[in-house]
Amino acid sequence: MAVFTKTSVPRGAHTLPQAYYTSRDIFEQEQERIFARRWLLVGREEQAASAGEYFLTTIGRDNLIIVRGQDGRLRALYNVCRHRGTRMCEQASGKFLGSIMCPYHAWTYNLDGTLLAARNMDGVPDFDKARYPLRQAALATWEGFIFINLAERPEPFEVAFAPLLGRFARWHIAQLRVARTIEYDLRCNWKLIVQNYSECYHCPLVHPALDKLTPYDSGRNDLLEGPFLGGYMTLRVSGSRMSMSGKAYYPPLGEVAGDELDRVYYYAIFPTMLLSLEPDYVMVHRIEPLAVDRSIVTCQWLFHPDTMARPDFDTSDAVDFWDMTNRQDWHVCELSQEGVASRAYTPGPYANQEGLLYQFDRYYRSVMDD
């Protein structure tokens, strides 16, 4: 049984030094030490549901094609032609008709990445098609989410995610479908977004509407250190929901019951996934760091297909609430970026309610120093 407690910080706990938010060198180091090594959320299985369906994803300098093969398997193929390296596919998502053709000289690949045809290469001595498949990254799925890992020898997903596997089984997240997606372009470092997500010290000031639904000091956490951090907050009114109206319109997900009906669970999954579990829907944020001071956040709301099929189904009550809350958060994240970049910034002391931020920083630095 998970034990949930309040966070605290040790004596002397301070925020990160400025360079972690402003240095291009550190951003480059993060690309190698974090983003090229860790399992990263890229999307939902339904985004490539049938053979040939694909979507593109960018990780730093790398662009990959997440595609479902004729064999039903998902693969992460580097979008890099083995002839002269050209990026082959430009359209963000779609469906291949059985193969992937490079637009430059028409080398053509099967959906499993093997080279099917290379025009006029027959006369080239020693040319062997078998030696030029598209390069692949490791891919794993969990609860309907797709993760990829660019490392040569990645830590197995089941090992890396062991503390989370099965943890949210009661929500039946794999069955859920994306009802809405909103993309945000933020002028701030990716870590400020994770840190902001990990405390509600700011809630009474930044989110008056959210504070009416869940008291800012109701947070209790069961994952208190390491790559996964979070816990729950308690709804002020039993049976209410995180939405504009605060009303519950839809049945709870899966086997969600008891105390879970009056809680919202929030988990920061290192490095760039934020998973929020409501009784009747799930919200997920994926952060894509574009530069040391710029990040794209994709927010998706997942509902049960039976709920989505109801004639009265309407995402706006929940989505409008979180879209407003997201924008309030992004605004303070951008203000933080501005201030942290100033010559006046020095690390400031963390409050006890910022225990998860202290732990995030600690884990992040251990990975960077690895």
* % helix, strand, coil for the chain, step of 5: 30, 30, 45
Instruction: Give the shortest CB-365-to-ligand FES separation in angstroms.
Output: 41
Query: Is residue 142 at the binding interface for ligand FES, with CB under 6 A as the rule?
Result: no
User: How far apart are the C-alpha atoms of 281 and 322, rounded to whole Å?
Assistant: 12
Q: Is 334 helix (H, G, I), strand (E, B) or coil?
A: helix
With CB cut-offs between 5 and 8 Å by kind, which of Fe ion, ligand FES, none does residue 135 bind?
Answer: none
Cis omega (within 30 of 0) on the bond before 271?
A: yes
Instruction: Give the shortest CB-119-to-ligand FES separation in angstroms.
Output: 8
Contacting ligand FES (CB under 6 A), which of 20, 35, 55, 107? 107
With CB cut-offs between 5 and 8 Å by kind, which of Fe ion, ligand FES, none does residue 199 bind?
Answer: none
Query: Is residue 62 at the binding interface for Fe ion, with CB under 5 A as the rule?
Result: no
For ligand FES, the closer of residues 81 and 274 by Cβ is 81
With contacts defined by CB under 6 A, name the span among 105-113, 124-132, 141-149, 174-182 that binds ligand FES.
Answer: 105-113
Token pair belonging to 36 = 């090229």
Instruction: Give the shortest CB-301-to-Fe ion separation in angstroms.
Output: 17
Residue 210 and residue 320 in contact, taking contact as beta carbons nearer than 8 Å: no
Please give the sequence-ordered ranges of beta strands (E in DSSP) within the chain, or none if there are none: 40-44, 53-59, 62-68, 74-78, 93-95, 99-101, 108-110, 115-117, 136-142, 145-149, 177-186, 220-223, 228-234, 263-269, 273-277, 282-291, 294-303
Q: Is 275 helix (H, G, I), strand (E, B) or coil?
A: strand
Instruction: Give the shortest CB-200-to-Fe ion separation in angstroms.
Output: 7
Over its C-alpha atoms, the chain yields an Rg (Å, rounded) of 22
For ligand FES, the closer of residues 54 and 232 by Cβ is 54
The residues in 63-92 that bind ligand FES, with binding defined as CB under 6 A, are: 81, 83-84, 86
Q: Which residues bind Fe ion (CB under 5 A)?
A: 329
In the complex, the residues that contact ligand FES under the rule CB under 6 A are: 81, 83-84, 86, 102, 104-107
